Amino acid sequence: MTLQEAIFTTTSRCSMTGFNDAEALRLERVMAKATEVGDGSGTAKLSMAWRIWDRARLRPG
């Protein structure tokens, strides 16, 4: 999976799960962070992004 495919999958998942625009923009930033720490694979980046996102959604504020 390329990074572009990972981002498309992520934004599609945002739509399906009802994330609002602010949440989608925040997730894009998470994807960018995952790109920095990922192993180069789009799938790994997507997985990393969702782990970061899930943790962030549990934190207040």
Q: 27-53: per-residue pLDDT in tens?
A: 777 767 766 665 556 666 677 777 776
Q: Please give the residue range of the domain that contains residue 45.
A: 3-58
Residue 56 Cα distances to 3, 14, 47, angstroms: 21, 15, 14
Buried b / exposed e along 22-39 (16+ C-beta atoms within 10 A): eeeebbeebbeebbeebe
Closest CA to 30 of 60, 1, 5, 6: 6
Q: What is the pLDDT of residue 26?
A: 72
pTM of this prediction?
Answer: 0.36
In total, how many domains does the chain have? 1
